[in-house]
Chains A and B, each alone.
Chain A
Amino acid sequence: MVAVKETVEQVKELDVDQYKYGFSTDLEVDKAPKGLSEDIVRFISAKKGEPEWMLEWRLDAYRRWLTMTEPNWARVHYPKIDFNDSYYYAAPKKNAAPKTLDEVDPAILDAYKKLGIPLREQEILAGVQTSKVAVDAVFDSVSVVTTFKEELKKAGVIFCSISEAIKEHPELVRKYLGSVVPVTDNYYATLNCAVFTDGSFVYIPEGVRCPMELSTYFRINEKNTGQFERTLIIAEKGSYVSYLEGCTAPQRDENQLHAAVVELVTMDDAEIKYSTVQNWYPGDADGKGGIYNFVTKRGDCRGANSKISWTQVETGSAITWKYPSCILRGDNSRGEFYSIAVSNGMQQVDSGTKMIHLGKNTTSRIISKGISAGRSQNTYRGQVSAHRKASNARNFTNCDSLLIGEQCGAHTVPYLESKNASAVFEHEATTSKISEEQMFYCRQRGLSAEEATALIVNGFVKDVLQQLPMEFAVEAQKLISISLEGSVG
């Protein structure tokens, strides 16, 4: 149905030419030669000072990648990517490995300041932020700083860049890396295995509730570079962690590739809450430039009663190809996926989730809201499957979409596969109006039509809103109010 005026205006504010994070920072950088080859893989590994087993792992992935073909089932269209036309490693030159924040290039700190990311612990403590958040800042191919490391260490939590983890906690990395997303999982994941440069590593020991929110902020700055980050989060028995991820990039005319892999592992009774505000540069109004965001995110509920929850607010990227998934292996484990995806301009979004029920009494919930405007295409693609032994598996899926304007498209492609008689799956998707009875009830009590719709939809979208951590509330607020207005149409 036709979207209300206010919503149209709010989406307009988010239009591609309004992108606020499009500035770039001039820095002297250390780059790998352009292109992709075994030598580049060796170069990256050497730059990172990695052990031999890691290099072998990368080379194996690279060789396998060469035999693979790009997936073409998603509803996204783009010219063929020349993988030899970009840089796979770019790092700020000055103070290559800063020990403290004071050693970090002030230009980088400025950039983060502009982005509103607090990196100085004292600032955070001085009340700039209402609650404490530990940040790992990844700038192009390297992690520049990780805050609150010491304090986290006291709780036994390991929070560092993945390069550091490979050096300092090789036993953990070896055990878990590639155990959720196998090396040959898909084209982009395999590419990531070969050339990933940095990312975050989190380890929460048994019984620990992580004392603060952890967060990683990804920034692509250099021209012609791709960013390949790798995140690995392990929550041991009975632990809990909430992790936030943010990302932005400068406004550039060429397309840049971002192919990340995120792996989550939860043991018995553990819980991981993973939230993303994805705001990569979406390209201009004619679709020139922008980030190709080809991401593989997967969580493995390995232990009984464990839980993984994905929350995402997607506004950026020229192309989004992303399906945060949960493998519900442990009995009674639970997976959740909450998503708001707003597309504008010429953006193409093909996003959704996968819930793979393997264990008994596993439950999952999917709430997805898609809003498309301009000439964009927004697709929800989600898979729910119950395997033979997944007795009493439960899933509820709800995905709604809204179109603003006549040139965009909203699509829903759910896959429901059940191999167990006691599994119960329900799926519903609508683009329908609020019921007249509800409207009548509210109007009778003196609310205007718009107030009434806002009220009704507010209650309806709450599901997604409530899942967002406080820290993201401000950023997400604007998007959310849109989706409130929007779904009414």
Chain B
Amino acid sequence: MASVTPLKTAAELSLLAQAEGSKSVRQNSFARYAAKGLPHRRVEAYHYTDIRALLKDAPAPAQKAGVAPTHFAFNEIDACVITLIDGQLTAVPTNPLAGVSMNISDEVPDDGLAARSVFPSDGDPIIALNAAFVHRTLRIVIDAGCAIEKPVLLRCITAGAVSAYSRVVVEVANGASMTLIECHECASGGLTNSVVEIAAGDDVSVEHIRVNLGDESATVLTSFGGRIGARSALTSGNFVTGGALSRHQVFLRFEGEGATATISGAALLKDRQQADTTLVVDHSVPECVSREHFAHVLDGEATGVFQGKIIVRPHAQKTDGKMMSRAVLLADGATMNNKPELEIFADDVQCGHGATVGALDDDLLFYLRARGLPKPEAEALMLQAFVGEALEMIAHDGMRERLEWLSETWLKARG
């Protein structure tokens, strides 16, 4: 390929202007981003999501919190709700739940260089930008042995055409269990950049659920980092219908033997939406199990991207990893890009990955229509089942039902 002289895009120039001379911006982290600029298709990890080309502009970070929308899709969920508007973090409940403590910390956010960091050490640009611009970190600590019944629900709102940076660090001590829900609502023209880190000790059980219900012209960039201790179980369920451009990055590392991780996701996209899920599961110790299952339903001119990588380090024997990505294209303009990777350095492992892309099965459709269902309903029924496979991996009943209802609504609106 011919070498190209890099020119700065409008978004890159905006970011530079925002960082320049600002005292609140962490220049070290910003420099890590600035060294390479916004990632583009020549950067392997961003091959299918060319942020440089897709991000037209980077709005300025919000100076003060906007107004939260009144409607909230998860009002009925009985949870300890923490609302983060435009990334502004002013107060948190002091004693929210027994066994849970929360505080707002001024710690330096991890941009991949912190000790035991799960993020790429060569500097992921989205995480570096988050570390540079985020104000303060919300730290949640779950005491050892505490089983927290009520989920902690982070309602992350970007209320206007601004950039909102947020960072949440959750520590789950040995033997504890909890459910963490993050729901992203990003207004038209807004940019959300959120990072959630979970450090799970030994014998821990954590369920993480992420929902992206952003506006169809919003940019939602989310990252999730997880460290999993011995015999612990971590599940992460994802649901996406929002955002013009969304990218969710997952970095998981097993740090103790006998742990399991289950990551699932469903994305329902239409028009010109683009959603990317990029995950790296690092089996650095023996005898861990990982499962990934992702389903994409793509209508209109939508683009789905799934990039998954299972790494099995030398000596991580008896690893069991399975990764599956399935996509249904409903229109000729839709695109699905799959890249399920395996990187294996140990010889006694069971690893597999599968990927399928296709349209709805004509035979099944015919079967349903022969029984009197109109075409749209028959399609919706099949798609509901297709998405359901991924959603049923979510253990929290209330959330699962709610997400099923949301996907049903989406399918009905399709007509």
Residues of A in contact with B (beta carbons under 8 Å apart)? 1-3, 64, 67-69, 71, 73, 184, 186-187, 388, 401, 403-433, 489
Contact = CB atoms under 8 A, between A and B. Distances in A.
A427 B358 contact: no
B401 interface: no
Interface stretch (B200-208, B246-254, B262-270, B340-348): B340-348
B353 A415 contact: no
A71 B2 CA distance: 10
Contact of A68 (B1, B334, B339): B1
A177 to B, nearest CB: 21
Nearest to B353: A429
B291 to A, nearest CB: 14
Contacts of A1: 347-350
Contacts of A184: 2
B342 A432 contact: no
Contact of B344 (A67, A186, A428, A431): A431
Given A403-B346, A415-B339, A431-B350, A421 B355 contact: no
Interface in B343-385: 343-359
B336 interface: yes
B99 to A, nearest CB: 41
A409 B338 contact: no
B330 A421 contact: yes
A388 B343 CA distance: 31
B56 interface: no
Q: Give the 10 A-B residue pairs with the shortest CB-CB distance, closest first.
A: A416-B338, A421-B329, A424-B358, A403-B347, A418-B357, A412-B342, A430-B352, A427-B355, A425-B357, A409-B345
B340 A427 contact: yes
Nearest to B349: A431
Nearest to A185: B1
B75 to A, nearest CB: 36
Given A421-B331, A423-B358, A414 B2 contact: no
B412 interface: no
A488 to B, nearest CB: 13
A413 B355 contact: no
B332 interface: yes
Nearest to B327: A418
Nearest to B318: A1
A429 B359 CA distance: 22
Contacts of A417: 48, 335-338
B357 A69 contact: no
Given A403-B346, A420-B329, A421-B329, A426 B353 contact: no
Contact of A416 (B44, B337, B348, B349): B337
Contacts of B344: 401, 403, 409-411, 431
B3 interface: yes
Interface string B26-61: 000000000000000000100010000000000000
Contact of A415 (B333, B338, B359): B338
Given A1-B349, A2-B347, A414-B355, A421 B340 contact: no
B350 A425 contact: no
B314 A407 contact: yes
A397 B25 CA distance: 48
Contacts of A404: 347
